[in-house]
Amino acid sequence: MGIFISIVTLLLWGVAAAAAADNNTSFDFPSFTIHNNNNNNNITLLGDSSLTNNGLLRLTTAAPTYSTGAVVYNHPITLFDPQTSTLASFSTAFSFSINTLNPTSSGDGLAFFLAPHNLSLILSGPLGLPAAFVAVELDTHLDYPFRDPNENHVGFDINTVKSLKTGDPILHGIDLKSGNTIASWIDYNAKRTSLNVFLSYSPSKPVDPVLSVHVDLSQHLKDPVYVGFSASTQGLTELHQIHSWSFLRSAFVPPARTPHNVSVVGMRAVPASRPPKKPRHKRVSFVSGAAAAGSVSVFAVFSIILGYVFVRSRRRGGRRKDKGDNFVACPRAFDYKELKSATREFHPSRIVGHGSFGTVYKAFFMSSGTIAAVKRSRHSHEGKTEFQSELSIIAGLRHKNLVQLQGWCVEKGELLLVYDFMPNGSLDKMLYKEPERGKLLSWSHRKNIALGLASVLVYLHQECEQRVIHRDIKAGNILLDGNLNPRLGDFGLAKLMDHDKSPVSTLTAGTMGYLAPEYLQYGKATDKSDVFSYGVVVLEVACGRRPIEREGSKMVNLIDFVWGLHSEGRLVEAADKRLNGEYEEEDMRKLLLLGLSCANPDSAERPSMRRVLHILNSEAVPLAVPKVKPTLTFSSHLPLTIQDIVSDAQDLNAMCHITIDPL
């Protein structure tokens, strides 16, 4: 193998000289310095852009007014073959950082663009883009007129910032506004007419793109083409900086002679913060030269080597990943300073929710480039008790539909738990969000949520070494990962029980609207009380309604609402109207009946979660649901009626946990 590599190295050396003849195919800026003549001669700074003393290219300033800037590579890039007029493949790799000076607001972000002219750039538009362009935007502002999905997205634009397609970097663990150095690769394959955008906190190029677009750029570009970056802000909010930049166009190869066109897209790994070492830089130059020379034989040989190295590295990476996963899966003690830094000293802008015993913050760990959720306890005996309960229970649980615990911290009088971060938030926020805030949960996603939640409850009730009763199953405690798969979280109220023992009396704790009647009456948590709560969630998912809603002057209970329609033979009318009928009627009927059977007031008539799972998988016949909702009588009356409890509630959407002391 060593002799083989030596031969290929000599071949690359042989074609490197030929590459010097073509200065329109590649360039490389490992850093930007004020006194670097090469920088000054090859780039034009426009607007507020400037070079810093520490080797960065700053596009915007911290001025108290609107700031916009751009940088353009002075020399046009020849993208079209003059003989065949076909477009060549190309790649650009760069590292950047976006620093949000005011956490409560943000600027527009920055963009990489290709434009027909370098002197007609007008920096007055959004993101400081020219009048005509093809661009990849790294957008940090939510603009409703441009149909932005959120304030942290990657978009592909042609002549307008209303993106043709967007990707969510959070799903890949990347926050554009974190202030960290981010490496980016933008690859265009002309043969496949595909453009891919990759982001990483490390110099290693990821396998999966953040954004993938099928587009024929030959319809939107023509020579000459100028490339550059632009950015804009909205006052004293963001600084946009480019740390390094390279561009590489593949060689022109006649399609008839090269049916398998080899592109060297994304060959260079961009450094996260410092210029590359000289030996590596030379190797990059050799590769660029080989691409410019267009030697098919060299590319074929080089591809074989690259494939071999790639397979070997993936195998080694896979083994490392397995070890890393095992490490993460085993909860560990975190350092308080690390969590404080990752949450920006528990800044209010990092709050993403509230758990059973405290506030949940979004945390960015700069050392590893990862994101997590940190739950911080309230300073009370109650908070400590729930913290210990949650830690002792969930630390030993493993299921794909559970929020994974990464670790904990007990320092400075603080109690903190660290979890995997769920980018799509909680089910209730996704289910009830306004249409303009994002896409509605589809019927397939809703069925998957019901199935995933049933699966994890079977695990908790029957497959754990000790039976786990969650006691607070609700839409707010069901989180959604990047693929909208459900993850059950918040075990602060959960209880461990032996499989062969009955539950014991305890404090009634949970959320009104999800509490089973017998649990509310006697304070005895069982697996059947969890089944009741699951039934309420299933009805929520199918109907798009909260467990208790105010309609005019009266309160409407979801279970009563659905059961009333069932008794009138109009069950499917309970379906969420926002779905616009985009569901199978029999599937909807099946899910609604399942929700009612689980929410039966009589606990003895409720199915086990295993039976529920079998029904969802069409492995068991659905239970018969009576047309009239069963009524229950207790030996003693409730200390408070439900009407008494909710009569003073001004906003049921923000209703807190209800705790009733035992009699």
> Using an 8 Å Cβ cutoff, are 309 and 269 in contact?
no
Q: Residue 362: which of 272, 434, 302, 422 has the closest Cα?
A: 422
CA separation, residue 53 to residues 35, 37, 231 (Å) = 9, 14, 20
Residues 6+ positions from 278 with CB-CB distance below 8 Å: none
Give CA–CA dist 432/557, Å, rounded.
Answer: 17
* Residue ranges at the known binding site: 375
Query: Please, is 280 exposed, middle or buried when counting C-beta atoms within 10 Å of its C-beta (0-12, 13-18, 19+)?
Result: middle
Which ranges of 157-295 would DSSP assign to H, the alpha helix?
278-293
Handedness of CA 17, 23, 24, 30 (dihedral sign): positive
Q: Report which DSSP code applies to 514.
A: S
Catalytic residue among 472, 481, 490, 527: 472
E strands of 366-453, at which residues?
370-377, 405-411, 414-420
> Using an 8 Å Cβ cutoff, are 361 and 350 in contact?
yes
* Residue ranges at the known binding site for ATP: 375
Q: Under DSSP, is residue 215 helix (H, G, I), strand (E, B) or coil?
A: coil
Q: Residue 60: which of 242, 219, 220, 223 has the closest Cα?
A: 242
Give CA–CA dist 380/402, Å, rounded.
Answer: 27
496 φ/ψ angles, rounded to the nearest 5 degrees: -95, 140
CA separation, residue 537 to residues 512, 540, 551, 657 (Å) = 13, 5, 20, 17
Provide the Cα torsion 203, 205, 206, 209; round to 10°: 120
Q: Which two tokens stand for residue 42?
A: 């090859």
Give CA–CA dist 626/622, Å, rounded.
Answer: 12
Core vs surface per residue 486-517: b (16+ CB within 10 A) or e: bbbbbbbbbbebeeeeebeeeebbbbbbbbbb
Q: Residue 154: which of 209, 107, 207 has the closest Cα?
A: 209
Active site includes 472?
yes
The pairing of beta strand 370-377 with beta strand 414-420 = antiparallel
- Number of DSSP helices (H) and strands (E) in the chain, helices first: 14, 29
442 φ/ψ angles, rounded to the nearest 5 degrees: -75, 170
Handedness of CA 645, 647, 653, 654 (dihedral sign): negative
> Using an 8 Å Cβ cutoff, are 542 and 574 in contact?
yes
Catalytic residues: 472
